[in-house]
Amino acid sequence: MTLIGLPLLLVLSAALLVVLAGTLIGWNRWPRRVAWPARVLGLLLVMVLPVAVSGDIMNRYYGFYTSWSDLTGGPVDVRLTAAAELHHERVSSSDLADGRAAAAHGHGIMIPWSMPGARSGLNRSGYVYLPAAYFDRARSTERFPVIELLHGYSGSPHNWVHALPIASMLDTEIAAGRMAPVIAVAPYEYDRNDGECVNAVRGEQNETYLARDVPTDIADSFRTATAPGSWSTLGFSTGGFCAVNMALHNPHTYRAAVSLSGYFTALTDASTGDLYRGDAAVRRYDSPAWFVRHRPVYPSLYVFASGGDTAAMREIAPFRRAVPAGTDLTTVTMPTGGHNTTVWNAALPPALDWLGHRLPAPTTTPLVAK
Per residue, what are the HEC states of the chain? CCCCCHHHHHHHHHHHHHHHHHHHHHCCCCCHHHHHHHHHHHHHHHHHHHHHHHHHHHHHHHCCCCCHHHHHCCCCCCCCCCCCCCCCCCCCHHHHHHHHHHHCCCCCEEEEEEEECCCCCCEEEEEEEECHHHHCHHHCCEEECEEEEECCCCCCHHHHCCCCCHHHHHHHHHHCCCCCCCEEEEECCCCCCCCCCCECCCCCEHHHHHHHHHHHHHHHHCCECCCCCCEEEEEECHHHHHHHHHHHHCCCCEEEEEEECCCCCCCCCCCCCCCCCCCHHHHHHCCHHHHHHHCCCCCEEEEEEECCCHHHHHHHHHHHHHCCCCCCEEEEEECCCCCCHHHHHHHHHHHHHHHHCCCCCCEECCCCCC
This prediction has a pTM of: 0.79
**Number of alpha carbons in the 13 Å side-chain half-sphere of residue 208:** 14
- Whether residue 206 has pLDDT greater than 90: yes
Query: pLDDT grade, residue 76 (50/70/90)?
Result: very low
pLDDT, tens digit (0-9, with 9 covering 90-100), for 32-58: 888 888 889 989 998 998 988 887 776
CB atoms within 10 A of CB 235: 28
Rounded to whole angstroms, the Cα distance separating 93 from 98 reads: 9
Supply the pLDDT for residue 8. 82
Residue 75 has what pLDDT?
42
Lowest mean pLDDT among 37-51, 109-123, 147-161, 166-180: 37-51
| Number of Cβ within a 10 Å radius of residue 161 | 19
Residue 296 in contact with residue 277, Cβ under 8 Å? no
Interatomic CA distance for residues 171 and 265, integer angstroms: 34
pLDDT confidence of residue 19: 87
Q: How far apart (Å, rounded) are the C-alpha atoms in residues 153 and 336?
A: 22
Distance (Å, rounded) from C-alpha 109 to C-alpha 223?
15
| For range 244-266, the mean pLDDT | 97
Task: Answer yes or no: is pLDDT of 218 > 80.
Answer: yes
CA distance 323 to 76: 39
> What percentage of the chain exceeds 90 in pLDDT?
72
Model pLDDT, residue 32: 81
Q: Which of 83-87, 288-292, 294-298, 348-352 is predicted least confidently? A: 83-87
Position 82, amino acid: A
Mean pLDDT of the chain: 89
Residue 67: which pLDDT band, with cuts at 50, 70 and 90? low
Gyration radius of the chain over CA positions: 23
Q: What is the pLDDT of residue 369?
A: 39
Phi/psi for 155 (5° steps) reads: -160, -170
| Model pLDDT, residue 82 | 32
pLDDT at 79: 33
For residue 341, what pLDDT is reported?
Answer: 94
* Nearest residue to 306 (alpha-carbon basis) of 361, 358, 247, 348: 348
pLDDT score of 204: 96
pLDDT, mean of residues 98-118: 95
**In terms of DSSP bridges, do strands 146-150 and 231-236 run parallel, antiparallel, or are they unpaired?**
parallel
Question: With 80 as the cut, is the pLDDT of residue 84 above it?
Answer: no
Decide if pLDDT at 324 tops 80: yes
CA-wise closest residue to 352 among 161, 169, 127: 169
| pLDDT number for residue 60 | 59
Shortest CA distance to 205 belongs to which of 78, 118, 127, 281?
Answer: 118
Q: Give pLDDT, residue 224.
A: 96
Length of the chain: 370
- The better pLDDT of the pair 35, 303 is held by 303
80: pLDDT strictly greater than 50? no
Give Cα separations from 4 to 8, 36, 45, 111, 194 (angstroms).
8, 36, 22, 18, 22
Q: Which of the four pLDDT bands, split at 50, 70 and 90, describes residue 77?
A: very low
What is the arithmetic mean of pLDDT over 129-135?
97
* Whether the Cβ atoms of residue 258 and residue 302 lie closer than 8 Å to each other: yes
229 pLDDT higher than 80 = yes
* More confident call, 57 vs 195: 195
The predicted pLDDT at position 296 comes to: 95
Contact predicate 319/303, CB 8 Å: yes
User: How confident is the model over 122-145, as a mean pLDDT?
Assistant: 95
